[in-house]
Structure 1
């Protein structure tokens, strides 16, 4: 499920952005039926050109719970084996600095994002952000191949045009084409759900938040009860939550889309991965928080964490179980019970000793429970494993721990380290605004120290 508003390894001082870091993670693609090439765009592009087929790219990151869900539960499905020859397959960990050139050419804003690229022109024919079931992936394969070969007509042609425009980072133009596709398509158009998902994503990217939420309210009743419906509800409610306060339509749109989210979560169950269902709980928590309804947010969070604990208990292996760690942490924090998530994260660190995420998250939870020495120790373990821009978030948590310890020298040293490191990173993997925020925080700290 697409999580557009929240980065799940939050620091109280340094906001999460589209910049992350590398860390070892289980290569679950290697266990799957599709022959993914890992982190080598040049090789994959050359193979696609030689074979005369499109290039399918899975851009992912180790911190991204939906990415890990796709890798643990979907890309391992043997039903995908029959598609192995349709594309050249590439997986790119966007936390690796070596993948920065790809991100410069094809920027990634949401994780995971799947690209289908025409190797003849190095043009993105399709860009789809978020989760997908096997049948949804198969429809994406069909749409990508159709765009590669050409010849689509009517609504299908407009969908292909919208996909291409979104792939070219022209969300407003993509939204226009996708709106026309929905308007011109017959009522039983098989691609309606996917087109609506893509339209809402394009409108969000174009900051057309009111039209996006309005389109969701108008079009969702036409979408069959499926993951397309669930994703459409999530995208529409995300747009509604982004509408500025004071906008006349905001409250009514949020209310209508919250009701649709609860409807999607209610029986009969829609066939979707547990991570997708978890994403709906997440956005409902955000909606209740936006409405200043603390009790309502905690009520949703209680349902959410109970669901997550049940799903984690059923996970077939540690890698699959860790998919739920970040959401378990967020639900526990919403409940003001951070200690409830600590045992699960301690188990994940034991089971996945090379993964920086468990100790990084534990550092936050230990700090919230007053265990500041344990928090620093966990943060040390995370810093020993993390590389790339995600290191900035781990350092941000470290600075917050020093604040809690009333150690101004530690805060200052940590911020100076973060700024120096940020300036060594590729521009596509760290934003100027993030460096500016670090520098402003350090300047404020120095000013306070020198004040009489």
Structure 2
């Protein structure tokens, strides 16, 4: 599960080739036993209608480490083959401008997002944000299939209704319905964990941060210890961190939900991928940062980085190993020690020569080391490989390199290029907040350039 963390904020090192090509950067489900159609919603929709089946969609992006973890460690599980006939399967890479029409119909806030869609009405029956184990994935198959066929009652019907409301973008209404589902369900309901996850995700999406944190603390004691329990703890702390720092209950709720995340990391071990466990470390580091606990940040970041190094060493192939690159980078930055992960990212670039992420991340780390020529060269390599709206963050990072080189004119020119490029992209694939951030950054640099001239008044 990853919501406000790396997939949303840090490691979506964004970009697109200057020619704006649409060749896929990676075959997301090349190793999956499920017959995914790649980036062709019209074909998948027609096939689903013809077969009378619901459409299962995995919305992903090459920069999203949790998406890549799902590919490497969950979607590749051979036991999923027996489910291949239950849906028509579609993958949607949001880096590709050719997928903008899908995103207009089904806006995406979190990566990965899994949809089950009724092809006859083109309406979502289920939307699930984040990662899942194989067992959880099969339960999502069951829930999506039941919603398509209809006929469920009680808590199951309320869960299906909540799923549909969230899928349609009605987060607050979805949260109300999911609360009803949990209230109506028996104590031993086998969907309780999934319903709690969906409820907290909807509350986070509706920006109901304080109620979300309180709901997490209320529901976790009634939820079996599982990945859903761990994700509930993560969501609760994420909501508490979304509260204003000066809110009366902020410290109390952050401390209480962080304790639950620490409990999720402690024995007995919960079955989850390395990426999911890493997400628990990440949100705890965010909590210690918010608390201005520098010693706590350093201690957790050190533990986190050592854990990631161990997981990367066990990875079966370079692509699976690269799942951990973005979090290794973040942990090293928290430790002010970029040199500890640069060799690993350099190896990823050698092993994955078409992937823009390793050079984009290296550009940042080289800049932090003061290796500015190397940083620009890495940025060049990233820009030659990257696609879609992802170009914007790579260009923003390049502007930072020029600032470090004391070349504000080139920094301003780079940001102007980014803003101009943003205007050529489909609106469904460009965040207005991201563009506003680029414009604010450009204005700050332009003010710095103009300042010496304004001070040089004639005598």
Displacement after TM superposition at 1:450 (Å): 2.9
Matches within 5 A, 1:106-125: 106-125=106-125
In structure 2, relative to structure 1, the CA distance for the partners of 1:8 and 1:311 (3 Å cut) is farther
Q: How far did residue 20 of structure 1 move? A: 6.3
**8 Å CA contact retained: 2:54, 2:118:** yes
1:382 aligns with 2:382: yes
For 1:31 and 1:261, locate their aligned partners in 2 and report how far apart those are by CA, in whole Å: 32
2:457 alignment partner in structure 1: none
Distance 1:40 1:170 in 2: 26
Cα deviations by residue, 1:307-339 (Å, 9 ceiling, x for unpaired): 000000000000000000000000000011111
Is the contact between residue 155 and residue 184 of structure 2 (CA under 8 Å) also seen in structure 1?
A: yes
Q: How does 1:356-375 map to 2 (within 5 A)?
A: 356-375=356-375
Q: Quote how far apart the aligned CAs of 1:7 are.
A: 4.6
> 2:144 is matched with which residue?
144
CA contact (8 A) 2:237 2:257 kept: yes
Structure 1, residues 263-315: CA drift from partner, whole Å, max 9, x if none? 11111111111100000000000000010101101111111000000000000
How far the C-alpha of 1:10 sits from its partner, in A, is 4.0
Q: Take 1:446 and 1:136, find their aligned partners in 2: how far apart are those partners? A: 51
Residue pair 1:49, 1:120 contacting (<8 A) in 2 also: yes
**Residues 388-445 of structure 1: CA distance to partner in whole angstroms, max 9, x if unpaired?**
1101100001000000000012112111111111110110111233323323332333
Q: Does the CA contact (< 8 Å) of 1:24 and 1:355 recur in 2?
A: no
Q: What is aligned with 1:88? A: 88
The DSSP-based 3-state class of the residue aligned with 1:116 is: strand
Match of 1:203 in 2: 203
| CA distance in structure 2 between the partners assigned to 1:186 and 1:123 by the alignment | 29
- The equivalent residue for 2:286 is 286
Evaluate the alpha carbon distance shift between residue 447 and residue 429 of structure 1 in structure 2; reply closer, same or farther with a 3 A threshold.
Answer: same
SS at match of 1:417: helix
**CA distance in 2 between partners of 1:5 and 1:33 (Å):** 30
Report how far residue 28 of structure 1 moved: 4.8
Deviation sequence 1:355-393 (CA, Å, 0-9, x none) = 000000000000001111110110110011112110110
Task: For 2:356 and 2:250, locate their aligned partners in 1 and report how far apart those are by CA, in whole Å.
Answer: 39
Q: Partner of 1:191 in structure 2?
A: 191
User: 1:4 Cα shift?
Assistant: 1.5
Q: What's 2:321 paired with?
A: 321
The gaps in structure 1 that reach 5 residues or longer are none
- SS state of the match for residue 37, structure 1? strand
Q: Which residue of 2 aligns with 1:77?
A: 77
> Could you say if the C-alpha distance between residues 334 and 194 of structure 1 is closer, same or farther in structure 2, counting changes exceeding 3 Å?
same
Aligned partners of 1:118, 1:242: CA distance in 2, in Å? 33
| 1:10-409 alignment, distance < 5 Å | 10=10, 24-409=24-409
3-state secondary structure, aligned to 1:29: coil
Higher alpha-carbon deviation: 53-62 or 255-264: 255-264
Residue by residue over 1:113-169, the C-alpha shift from the partner in whole angstroms, topping out at 9 and shown as x without a partner, is 000000010000000000001110110011101110111111111101100000010
User: In the aligned structure 1, how far is the partner of 2:173 from the partner of 2:337?
Assistant: 45
In the alignment, the residues of structure 1 paired with residue 199 and residue 9 of structure 2 have an alpha-carbon distance, to the nearest angstrom, of 28
Separation in structure 2 between the aligned mates of residue 256 and residue 435 of structure 1, nearest angstrom: 36
CA contact (8 A) 1:20 1:429 kept: no
For 2:268 and 2:7, locate their aligned partners in 1 and report how far apart those are by CA, in whole Å. 30
Distance in 2 between residues matched to 1:307 and 1:25, nearest whole Å: 28
Point out where structure 2 has 5 or more consecutive residues left out of the alignment. 17-21, 455-459
Aligned residues: 447
Distance verdict in 2 for CA 1:10–1:70, change over 3 Å: closer
Q: Distance in 2 between matches of 1:270 and 1:447?
A: 52
Write the distance in 2 (CA, Å) between the matches of 1:293 and 1:224: 32
Superimposed CA distance per residue, residues 190-214 of structure 1 (whole angstroms, 9 cap, x where no aligned partner): 0000000000000001111111000
RMSD of the alignment, in Å? 1.5
More displaced 10-residue stretch of structure 1: 436-445 or 78-87: 436-445
